[in-house]
A and B are shown apart, each in its own frame.
Chain A
Amino acid sequence: MVTVDWRVRRLGQAAFTVWAVLTLSFVLIRMMPGNIMGAMITRMTQQGINPGRARELVELRMTIDPDEPLLTAYGSYVVDTLQGDLGQSVYYGEPVTDVLAGALPWTLFVLSWAVFISFFIGISVGALMAYWEGGKLDVGLTSYAVLMGSIPFYVLAILLLIFLSYRYGLFPNGGRQPIGADPGFNLVYISGIIHHAALPIISMLVASGVASLGMRGNSIRVLGEDYLRVARLRGLSDITISTQYVARNAVLPMYTTLLISIGEMFGGSIVLEQVFQYHGLGWYMLSATHQRDYPLMMGGFMVITLAIVTALLLADLTYGYVDPRARRAQ
């Protein structure tokens, strides 16, 4: 076997994923029975546009020519997409790339805070549960974690919206930025943005329940290890043991959970942004789906995929710095 550097292999895997998704989306648009392209042309013809013109419009919007042979169409579609041309939105009349580029930062803003805070809470709670394993606090916190894991985030989101926003008016009931404030780096605008993002972020914190159960399991496993017994015999202080020995070893496996939850949260942002009418990536993708704005919908799908692939790639490449064992194993 030829040994390739694992980073190169990992990069190749990411490229393969992107290619696979590109191909899948081409199949959905052009080849599948009842495909998107056919649906678009039928729709336009029904609206009174003659078929020839409709085909031209479809070509403009989807960057796929319906009359070209499959292979040529596929080739030019892949090249176009890789160059950043995702077609043109039917509803907004703008290039899909422009629409989505305006939305992406907002989604990233909400999601990064949601991931960060929920894992912080999850790890702390999990460590507490493990420390008092079997005690009253453990039972109480475990029940809390089970309940958190059983509430879908959108249920919590709707409840928060009803109570904190409509009933008590503590938070705005939709939108992503304060009305009337100057966009820019001033206090009113920044605090307004945080105010608008607060409820979506809080709704995502149900993820902390799952994280804390994982952390609890890891910590208990580490607590049973022999090296911990040795550390106690050596007379190390409790603080050293808990931070240097238990915490570090228990947190590291959580990294994988974190990665998977990033992907799930991106998918979840579609529901979340609908509930709060937060105009991010998910909101645009959903409204495109409802308006049968296929270029925007497929573009959104592509951008979310790219975001997840990139996030996972970066995380994998940097994992060696977090966990020295992984570097050696590679």
Chain B
Amino acid sequence: MTRESPSPTDPGDEHELSTDIKSTPETERNGAADRPVETDGGNVNSPFEVVSEFEETRRDRYRKLYDAYVYAPVSIIWRDWRARIGLTIVVLYLLMGTVGTVLVEPTNVAEGSALINPFENAEYILGTDGHGRDLLSQTVHSTATILKMVVSGAVCTVGIGTTVGAIAGYKGGMVDTVLSSITDVFINIPGFPLVMVLGLMFDDIILGNPYAVGVLLSVAAWGGLARAIRSQMLTLREESFVEASQAMGMRTHTIVFKEIIPHLMPYVVINLTNAGRRVIFEAVALYYLGILPFENLNWGSTLNLAYQENAHVRPGALHWFLVPMVAIVFISVGLTLLGQSLDRVFNPRVRARHEKTTSPADPEGEPDDTTNANDMMGGI
């Protein structure tokens, strides 16, 4: 196979490429990012340039980091319509969970009259529930709680899954056998019933602690990711850059987490959004079933109350269900779209193209693949 090593997707090349990219904002900074500057070094004499060339203040460094890790990724995914919608939705929810809780007052029983329909009363835009509580306020205030669960749940799931999978795949042998067996057990255990039983037992820890709910939900969720990471690790550990790192005498820890894991980053990040969605679904389900105790209302417990008070039978109570449902579906649409488009951020080819030319002329990687295949055909 002539395709194997010299192909542009060779990890060694990718590695170089990514360092190139990191240095790009640097050169931009040295050449004054404010105005368009020729790369011929025409205005090195400008006093601004001299300063920035010799000393780098902390602020500059942060700016560079911002350019490489925030500005560039955001501007890349911003080209994709899916990402635009997804990012907007997620940011909207973030604002709702932080700023929104300050702006919207928490609601109380019998604040308004019961079951006002949405868009009828200016004071209660989304209507009220069976006890006269404002549904908009309920939605906004539960966003913060749900977001905390999502963050802790997603980080735990992906953290455990990646670590276990990476170590099992890299080490092999006995370590692999043990870790893989544990992973298989967790894949086979029915996640939701397990979480239900555990939730019942630890209800005193969970009460009023959304982070604990997230951790609880991750217990049954990391297995699949660990298995996938392990199988990717099995191929990655044979690569030449790993052998080089080993020859340089790097510690296993450094090789796995500093050298190999970055190659799996796209996969890991996409799974982060999937895990987040899963946490929302399961947490809301548990609250809906009334298994987890709660202090403040959240989307799930609102559904639970609505069901218990027969809102599905009563006329004019439909919005009691619909408001939390829309909140759930909307954020998960956002997370799904974001996850789907995130792979572009990590695709070095898309990245490099974006950094060089800011024109959206050639957004996809497909044309490259076709020419590649054509070459192959010629070769045959």
Interface residues of chain A, those whose CB is within 8 Å of chain B, are 13-14, 16-17, 20-21, 24, 28, 32, 34-36, 146-147, 149-152, 154-155, 158-159, 161-162, 166, 224, 226, 229, 260, 263-264, 266-268, 270-271, 274, 285-286, 289-290, 297-298, 300-301, 304-305, 308-309, 312
B369 CB within 8 Å of chain A: yes
Are B289 and A270 in contact, with the CB atoms below 8 A? yes
Cα(A142)–Cα(B166), bound, Å: 32
Are B185 and A17 in contact, with the CB atoms below 8 A? yes
Cα(A151)–Cα(B312), bound, Å: 18
Are A267 and B329 in contact, with the CB atoms below 8 A? no
Contacts of A271 in B (CB 8 A): 192, 285, 288-289
Cα(A155)–Cα(B325), bound, Å: 7
Cross-chain pair count, CB within 8 angstroms: 124
Contacts of A162 in B (CB 8 A): 312, 318, 321
Are A229 and B333 in contact, with the CB atoms below 8 A? no
Cα(A183)–Cα(B224), bound, Å: 41
Contacts of A13 in B (CB 8 A): 181, 184
B115 CB within 8 Å of chain A: no
Are A32 and B201 in contact, with the CB atoms below 8 A? yes
Are B181 and A229 in contact, with the CB atoms below 8 A? no
| CB-nearest residue of chain B to A282 | B193
Are B191 and A152 in contact, with the CB atoms below 8 A? no
Contact string against A for B residues 280-296, beta-carbon threshold 8 Å, 1 for contact and 0 otherwise: 01001100111100000
Q: What are the 4 A-B residue pairs with the smallest beta carbon separation, nearest first?
A: A267-B192, A150-B332, A150-B333, A17-B188
Are A304 and B329 in contact, with the CB atoms below 8 A? no
- Output the least CB separation between A286 and chain B (Å): 6
10 A-B pairs in the complex with CB atoms less than 8 angstroms apart: A20-B189, A32-B201, A147-B333, A152-B284, A155-B328, A229-B377, A271-B192, A297-B200, A301-B193, A305-B190
Cα(A28)–Cα(B197), bound, Å: 9
Contacts of B191 in A (CB 8 A): 263-264, 267
Contacts of A268 in B (CB 8 A): 192
Contacts of A264 in B (CB 8 A): 191-192
- Output the least CB separation between B325 and chain A (Å): 5
B interface SS class: helix
- Output the least CB separation between B310 and chain A (Å): 10
- Output the least CB separation between A195 and chain B (Å): 19
Interface residues of chain B, those whose CB is within 8 Å of chain A, are 181, 184-185, 187-194, 196-198, 200-202, 204, 224, 277, 281, 284-285, 288-291, 303, 307, 312-313, 318, 321, 325, 328-329, 332-333, 335-337, 340, 369, 373, 376-377, 380
Are A312 and B288 in contact, with the CB atoms below 8 A? no
Contacts of B328 in A (CB 8 A): 152, 155
Contacts of B312 in A (CB 8 A): 158, 161-162, 166
Are A146 and B197 in contact, with the CB atoms below 8 A? no
A263 with B193, Cβ < 8 A, contacts A154-B285, A162-B321, A286-B289 known: no
Are B201 and A17 in contact, with the CB atoms below 8 A? no
Contacts of B329 in A (CB 8 A): 147, 150-152, 155
Are B333 and A267 in contact, with the CB atoms below 8 A? no
Contacts of A285 in B (CB 8 A): 193, 196
Contacts of A224 in B (CB 8 A): 369, 373
- The residue that A146 contacts in the complex, of B202, B290, B337, with Cβ under 8 A, is B337
Are A152 and B285 in contact, with the CB atoms below 8 A? yes
Cα(A212)–Cα(B198), bound, Å: 33
Cα(A309)–Cα(B186), bound, Å: 11
Contacts of A17 in B (CB 8 A): 184-185, 188-189
Cα(A267)–Cα(B328), bound, Å: 20
Cα(A32)–Cα(B277), bound, Å: 30
| CB-nearest residue of chain B to A33 | B201
Cα(A35)–Cα(B44), bound, Å: 73
| CB-nearest residue of chain A to B331 | A150
Further 18 A-B residue pairs, CB within 8 A, beyond A16-B184, A271-B288, A301-B193:
A32-B201, A146-B333, A149-B332, A150-B335, A152-B281, A155-B328, A158-B307, A158-B312, A158-B325, A159-B325, A162-B318, A162-B321, A271-B285, A274-B289, A285-B196, A297-B197, A297-B200, A301-B197
Contacts of A309 in B (CB 8 A): 188
Are B192 and A270 in contact, with the CB atoms below 8 A? yes
- Output the least CB separation between A217 and chain B (Å): 10
Are B185 and A16 in contact, with the CB atoms below 8 A? yes
- Output the least CB separation between B88 and chain A (Å): 15
Are B197 and A298 in contact, with the CB atoms below 8 A? yes
Are B193 and A304 in contact, with the CB atoms below 8 A? yes
| CB-nearest residue of chain A to B290 | A290
- Output the least CB separation between B305 and chain A (Å): 13
A150 with B277, Cβ < 8 A, contacts A158-B307, A271-B285, A286-B289 known: yes
